[in-house]
Amino acid sequence: MVRQAPDRKKRYKYRKIFCFVIFGKMRIMGTGFGMPDPKRVNFMAFGRHDFELALIPNSSFHARIGDMTIRTGVGYTHRAESFSAGQEAVLKVLEGLQGDKPDFLFLFTTVGHDIPEVIRGIHNIKGPIPLCGCTGSGVITNLGCDEATHSIGLIGIRSDRVCFEPFLFSNLSADPQKVGVQIATRINALDLPPDDQKLLFLFPDGLTINADGLSRGLEQALAAHIDCVGGTAGNDFEKAQTYQFCNFQIASNAVAGVVAHGRFDYQIGASHGSKPVGLFRTITRATGTVIYEIDGQPALDLLKDYIGEDRIRDYGHVLNLFELGECFEDKAYCQDIINRAIIGVDEEKGGIRLAVEIPQGTKIKITRRDKKLVLKRTRQTAQTVMDAMKSADDGFYFFFNCSGRGSYLFGSPDPDIDALKEVLGPHKQFAGFYTFGEFAPIKGKNYFHNYTGILVGIE
């Protein structure tokens, strides 16, 4: 399934741009930006576009009128020492940009790193650069991918026609809907030009998220729909936390993200490789994200019937192979089901816990990932995204892939990424990470996914 960017032909009309530099006090807006005290910053405004560097003191953007390209550089390293790893990654990015400083960085790391040191290493080479990202169970780039404890994937973007507005909001688990409203309020306050293309990247904590609550807040408060892509932050399945970061700010139980806007186009592809086991069944009792009964019997008993009593005790094995498939008809998407990961069980009450809310009356199937189907659909998605782009060779890409499609499924993180590279070819740049959940729109509506690969092409 591929989601195409809305037509924005108007944005290519010539527009006179007045440039001026403003020096003065920064105002911290909400909890999405800022260190404890305001800092003096430089920022440049172009008409209605304000480039805020809320956490980057003494930095400025420089206009490149006439440079109408989007250029990128990718860095990848599994060096263990965090400061030097940050340096190495950004040096690779700079190499791809012929030494030019990127306007923005997407940073993905695994949890073994000292993240403040990684960020300090990045800024040590060319000075502070705005960034956003999170931890994953592994990192993904065109230069390599792995699930090691000390890995970094970094992509830097330089262009005068794409702007980035990063944010970070905390206390996700306390009230996910409120956090969604806060993000929407922040985006609304940017007062982005209506003819700008817009794309929202989200990187919430994968251990504390209630995706439905977060989505409700966003949808209710956003002034206009924005397609959302990204993934939830992950870890090595041993630590108790994941991490989200925006510039110098690092948090857990938070949502990091960035709004990209300007004159660009994008294509989004989403696919899973799960096959249903048995017929549709009906959820007959559920509260929040916990399903207690399916077809009138305890949900956990039904799962045991399909999987077996011994297997259900090996929780890692359940995660490795099985999930729920929610009925998703009339959307021309992957066998009419959307995957819902089982993230916990309640032995005492016989319940199954998910990352999303599924109300009573919903039709579901037990589903199981199929290795060959995963790889087949990854190739198909990549080809469809490229075919829909005006100039796929000039684009760059993000791949947000479920951690259940790496070593947990294949015994190695490589097969799904190799399938992607077969289609993209050896020279296209991409970055991403292994997630605990994914975001992508289907038929113009944003959804939370599990065990799914999300490919985003930008040009």
pLDDT tens-place string over residues 62-89: 223 334 589 999 999 999 999 999 999 9
**2-20: per-residue pLDDT in tens?**
777 765 544 333 232 222 2
pLDDT band for position 309 (cuts 50, 70, 90): low
- How does DSSP classify residue 233? B
308 contacts: CB under 8 Å, gap ≥ 6: none
Find, among 434, 439, 453, 415, the residue nearest to 151 by Cα.
434
Q: What pLDDT does 347 receive?
A: 85
Exposed / middle / buried, residue 62 (Cβ in 10 Å: 0-12, 13-18, 19+)? exposed
Which residues have CB under 8 Å from 221's CB, separation 6+? 180, 181, 184, 185, 188
List, for residues 230-279, the tens digit of each pLDDT value. Answer: 999 999 999 999 999 999 999 999 999 999 999 999 999 999 999 998 88
How far apart CA 85 and CA 116 sit, in angstroms, is: 12
CA distances from 35 to 30, 41, 314 (A): 11, 13, 44
Q: Identify the CA nearest to 318 among candidates 346, 281, 339, 343.
A: 343
Q: State the Cα torsion 329-338-288-404 to the nearest 10°.
A: 170
CA-nearest of 77, 256, 260 to 154 is 77
Q: What is the pLDDT of residues 359-395, one digit of tens each?
A: 999 999 999 999 999 999 999 999 999 999 999 999 9
Q: Give me 306's structure tokens.
A: 């399909």
Report residue 197's pLDDT band, with 50, 70 and 90 as the boundaries.
very high
Residue 15's pLDDT is 31
Question: What is the C-alpha to C-alpha distance for residues 386 and 263, in angstroms, rounded to an integer?
Answer: 19
Res 29: pLDDT: 31
pLDDT at 104 over 60: yes
DSSP 8-state class, residue 347: T
pLDDT over 70, % of the chain: 83
Tell me how long the chain is. Answer: 459
**The token pair that represents 367 in the structure block:** 């589903």
- Residue 381, φ and ψ in degrees, nearest 5: -60, -45
pLDDT digits (tens, 9 = 90+) for 276-289: 988 899 999 999 89
Task: Encode pLDDT of 328-368 as tens digits.
Answer: 998 889 989 999 998 888 888 999 989 899 899 999 999 99
Query: What's residue 318's pLDDT?
Result: 61
For the cut 50, the answer to whether the pLDDT of residue 60 exceeds it is no
Confidence of residue 96 (pLDDT cuts 50, 70, 90): very high
Q: Are 346 and 353 in contact (CB under 8 A)?
A: yes
* pLDDT tens string 397-443: 999 999 999 998 999 999 999 999 999 999 999 999 999 999 999 99
Report how far apart, in Å, the C-alpha atoms of 283 and of each of 158, 212, 296 are: 49, 17, 8
Residue 221 half-sphere exposure, CB side, CA atoms within 13 Å? 19
Which DSSP helix (H) or strand (E) runs through 165? strand 162-170
**C-beta separation of 133 from 108 below 8 A:** yes
Determine the pLDDT at residue 152: 98
Torsion of CA 39, 43, 49, 52, to 10 degrees: -30
Compare 307 and 159 and report the one with higher pLDDT. 159
Per-residue pLDDT at 278: 82
CB atoms inside a 10 Å sphere around CB 74: 22
Phi first, then psi: give them for residue 310, nearest 5 degrees: -70, -40
Q: What is the 3-state secondary structure (H, E, C) of 39-76?
A: CEEEEEEECCEECCCCCCCCCCCCCCCCCCCEEEEEEE
DSSP helix/strand/coil, 418: helix
C-alpha 234: how far from chain center: 11
Q: Is the pLDDT of residue 227 over 50?
A: yes
Instruction: Give the integer Cα–Cα distance in Å for 125 and 119.
Output: 11
Picking from 176, 232, 246, the residue whose alpha carbon sits closest to that of residue 32 is: 246
8 vs 188, 278, 319, CA distance in Å? Answer: 19, 44, 41
- Tell me the CA distances in angstroms from 383 to 33, 141, 209, 270, 392, one per residue in order: 38, 18, 32, 12, 10
| Distance between CA atoms of residues 124 and 132, nearest Å | 17
pLDDT at 313: 61
Residue 122 clears pLDDT 50, i.e. is over it: yes
212 phi and psi, to 5 degrees? -65, -45
pLDDT of residue 321: 73
Whole-prediction pTM: 0.85
